[in-house]
Structure 1
Amino acid sequence: MTITSTRRHAAGRPADGVADSRPVRLAPLDILGLGMLGVRTRKMRAALSALGISIGIATLIVVTGIPASSQKALMKELSALGTNMLQAVPANQDPPVLLPPESVDMARRIGPVTAASAVANTHTEVLRNDRQGEADYTGLTVLASKVDLLRTINAEMGSGRFLGANTEKFPTAVLGSVAASRLGIPKVTAGQPAPQIYIDRQWFTVIGVLEKTPLSPDIDRSVLVGWDAARSMLRFDGHPTVIYLKAEESQIEAVRDVLPETINPELPGVVQISRPSDALTAKRATESTFSALFLGLAGVALLVGGIGVANTMVISVLERRREIGLRRALGANRNQIRSQFLTESVVLSGLGGLVGTVIGVLATMGYATHQNWQPVIPLTSVTAGFGGAVLIGMLAGVYPSVRAARLTPTEALATT
């Protein structure tokens, strides 16, 4: 018998005919292949294990996506209640105080202000026609209006169109919902002769009728005419009666504090500013509540999925002890065994996370569409869902992989 020496050459290579006793280093693809071995050979168990993590991740996305969609719809409704709006009016005193004609432009210069407009009482009467007299008082107010009033007060047209740059200088008018009813002009129909009303012994053509404006009920009982037309035809002096503003919600209190000095620097004390809507407080409280709810539900969903994967991997190690022993006997070291089971755990969790993400996104979009909400899928939920699944797989596979690596070949092969 020839005894072969195990001494190495100086270059680090084994001598001719000498076997290299160093452990073989597995490439990442080889480790992935070993990790997929348990998935391929035990498809049903792998599917059930992936299903557990899928349900957890899908739950994570659904319990964040559906409330987020609902929250956005609620925030939109609360915003429609004027959470970002303020009104400025002169103080009611004798003699009357007038706001400067340039006050609207001055208000627009405030940084957080996104829109500013105004109306002014022209102190004129409106009648349905020239045959009516003073006894036929309608109780309506004729207001001079800026052309950007509509978007500033979140109003909408019921029919026709609002005042614009091409109509504000001419005798045209837009009716509030109550004014339209009292004057017997419920709507303006395209293609038909436009109705006319009698203001201060002059004919004005009605070009539009507003929907109800819950944020500014005074507009409902008003007839709106162009700012320039009021000055040239109704002897309007150019001083606004009410200034409407929209500002960034986060800065609404700061805008309210500087508004009097801005629109009337000489007499800021005679300017009255409405306080922010109570809906703003409700909106901020709702955002805080939803954020806390998201965090709690997401944590529970991830915990359930992680326990399921850990349980599956522990059972897998117990059932495959003979396989582990055989691989150890054929030369696999502990690191390779550990990498195999840790990779299998990550693969199972990753597949489950991917499927769960798809299910969660589709379920959220379907429910939101059914409720006529705009679907909102938080990007953090999607990334945290898949990333969390992979992380859970790593954590859940640590103990089973370490336990598998500690088995000696004789101990594992002796298992019946």
Structure 2
Amino acid sequence: MTDALHEAWRGVRGRPGRAVLSGVGIALGMATLVLVTGIPASGQADLDRRLTALGTDLLVAQPSAASDDAPALPEQAAAMVRRIGPVEAASAVASLDARVRRTPFADPNDTAGIVALAATGDLLETIRGRLASGAFLSTPELPTAVLGAQAADWLGITRLDPARPPQIAVGDAFLAVVGILAPMPLTPELEQAVLVGWDAARELGFDGHPTVVYLRAAESRVESVRDVLPATLSPELPGLVGVSRPSDALAAKRATQGTFSALFLGLAGVALAVGGIGVANTMIVGVLERRREIGLRRALGARRKDVRRQFLTEAMLLSVLGGLTGVVAGTLGTLGFAAARGWPPVVPLTALAGGLAGSVLVGALAGLYPAVRAARLPPTEALAT
């Protein structure tokens, strides 16, 4: 095998111009393969990132509003949900029977649709929310509140001074506003709410039972988590616990995956086939030009299989060198295109490995006929030309 590689390398090096032209065909095929898999994969990663930001992994569980017999959620509802394997984060809120007013002198019937909710400090992380200003409920035992974006607008509180936080009336209590949430289109009910610390809410008559549980689960397991949530939160009456269906963004995300894969791989296959034809053509011409060399080797005792192995190895070597060149060029092209578009660069390793294996296979197929033809040349006929 070492002798065959040595002879193949001598054959490639002895005709550098023709070797380069043959290798270019395979290199273009491999570069095309990497580009048509890497660029769509990078675009897919960017699309997945954008769709994930729309809440493809977010579920909301609460007692069914359609039933008066809906059970109250257990006090440890969030902790119970976190014990479900695929669940990554969970947090609960509870409705408070308290009116929200800008000042105690405001009309108690004029609440502008603002609701008061008890919340824990991990709510913002669970729903992937952001603060427009201030801080969240880091000290839930203190009489503080965080306003949703719409609630802040309705109350006329758009700026916060940490030294002199504004106060609002929630029920009969006065709470200092320490934060304002940024808009959260996935959870519009929280935009219209005033969030109160879980422990501080007990001073307003809160009984400790949450009314809504927000959770994030592994995206691939969202449906299975949704199926077991009702029984987890209410083993006796699971049918009276409603769970939101997975976001429409998740369905859109899955629909886009693999849409163009077959087309792109088909184009790459055509490119590799064209490169293989170039290698085959070069090897056939090489056999015609090297008839004397073949005849001399046969006359000196080389067997047919030795000649066949030499030309087959040479064709595969050309393909491997061209394939490696194409991998480098395609990878650089993918990285550059992704960087220009602001996408996360993705170069599928399976495409690289499959492409290199494909280039070796193309080289073997391209060199098979020339190798067999060279091996069948009679020594006397080859030396006579």
Q: Residue 18 of structure 2 corresponds to which residue in structure 1? A: 45
What is the identity percentage for the equivalent residue pairs of Structure 1 and Structure 2? 58
236-245 vs 102-111, which moves further: 102-111
Q: Among residues 187, 196, 202, which one is paired with 1:216 in the alignment? A: 187
- Distance in 2, matches of 1:313 and 1:158, equals 68
Q: Residue 334 of structure 1 corresponds to which residue in structure 2? A: 304
* 1:143 and 2:113 matched: no
- Distance in 1, matches of 2:96 and 2:217, equals 28
Q: Among residues 229, 241, 245, which one is paired with 1:259 in the alignment? A: 229
Report deviation, 1:134.
Answer: 2.6
The aligned length equals: 384
Report deviation, 1:406.
Answer: 1.0
- Distance in 1, matches of 2:164 and 2:268, equals 61
Q: Among residues 316, 320, 329, which one is paired with 1:346 in the alignment? A: 316
Q: Residue 163 of structure 1 corresponds to which residue in structure 2? A: 137
- Distance in 1, matches of 2:70 and 2:323, equals 69
- Distance in 1, matches of 2:129 and 2:158, equals 17
Cα deviations by residue, 1:144-181 (Å, 9 ceiling, x for unpaired): 112221222222222333223xx111122222111222
- Distance in 1, matches of 2:262 and 2:209, equals 49
Q: Residue 172 of structure 1 corresponds to which residue in structure 2? A: 144
Q: What RMSD in Å do the two structures reach over aligned CA positions?
A: 2.3
* 1:374 and 2:344 matched: yes
Q: Residue 6 of structure 1 corresponds to which residue in structure 2? A: none
Q: Residue 127 of structure 1 corresponds to which residue in structure 2? A: 101
Contact between 1:161 and 1:207, CA under 8 Å: does it hold in 2?
Answer: yes
SS in 2 for 1:212: coil
Q: Residue 101 of structure 1 corresponds to which residue in structure 2? A: 75
- Higher RCO structure (Cα 8 Å, ≥6 apart): 2
1:14-413, aligned counterparts within 5 Å? 28-92=1-65, 93-94=67-68, 97-134=71-108, 136-164=110-138, 167-188=139-160, 193-231=164-202, 233-293=203-263, 295-413=265-383
* Structure 2 portions without partners, runs of 5+: none
- Distance in 2, matches of 1:43 and 1:188, equals 73
Aligned AA (2:135): R
- Distance in 2, matches of 1:237 and 1:315, equals 89
- Distance in 1, matches of 2:23 and 2:168, equals 73
Cα deviations by residue, 1:208-243 (Å, 9 ceiling, x for unpaired): 222221211111111112111111x32211221211
Report deviation, 1:130.
Answer: 4.2
Contact between 2:61 and 2:241, CA under 8 Å: does it hold in 1?
Answer: yes
Contact between 1:61 and 1:381, CA under 8 Å: does it hold in 2?
Answer: yes
- Distance in 2, matches of 1:97 and 1:254, equals 22
Aligned AA (1:332): A
Report deviation, 1:342.
Answer: 1.5
Aligned AA (2:79): D
Contact between 1:50 and 1:348, CA under 8 Å: does it hold in 2?
Answer: yes
Cα deviations by residue, 1:26-58 (Å, 9 ceiling, x for unpaired): xx4432221122222221111111111001001
Report deviation, 1:298.
Answer: 4.0
Change (3 A) 1:40 1:95: closer
- Distance in 1, matches of 2:158 and 2:189, equals 18
Q: Residue 11 of structure 1 corresponds to which residue in structure 2? A: none
Contact between 2:71 and 2:234, CA under 8 Å: does it hold in 1?
Answer: no
* Structure 1 portions without partners, runs of 5+: 1-27
Q: Residue 8 of structure 1 corresponds to which residue in structure 2? A: none
Larger Rg: 1
Aligned AA (1:343): T
Aligned AA (1:237): D
SS in 2 for 1:289: coil
- Distance in 2, matches of 1:359 and 1:196, equals 62
SS in 2 for 1:134: coil
- Distance in 1, matches of 2:86 and 2:261, equals 26
SS in 1 for 2:180: strand
Aligned AA (1:378): P
State TM-score, norm by structure 1.
0.85
State TM-score, norm by structure 2.
0.91
- Distance in 2, matches of 1:179 and 1:159, equals 14
Change (3 A) 1:249 1:228: same
- Distance in 2, matches of 1:362 and 1:153, equals 38
- Distance in 2, matches of 1:412 and 1:193, equals 101
- Distance in 1, matches of 2:62 and 2:184, equals 19
SS in 1 for 2:259: helix
- Distance in 2, matches of 1:414 and 1:192, equals 103
Cα deviations by residue, 1:98-133 (Å, 9 ceiling, x for unpaired): 323232222222232222211111122223344534
58-67 vs 281-290, which moves further: 281-290
- Distance in 2, matches of 1:329 and 1:226, equals 95
Report deviation, 1:136.
Answer: 5.0
Contact between 1:197 and 1:204, CA under 8 Å: does it hold in 2?
Answer: yes
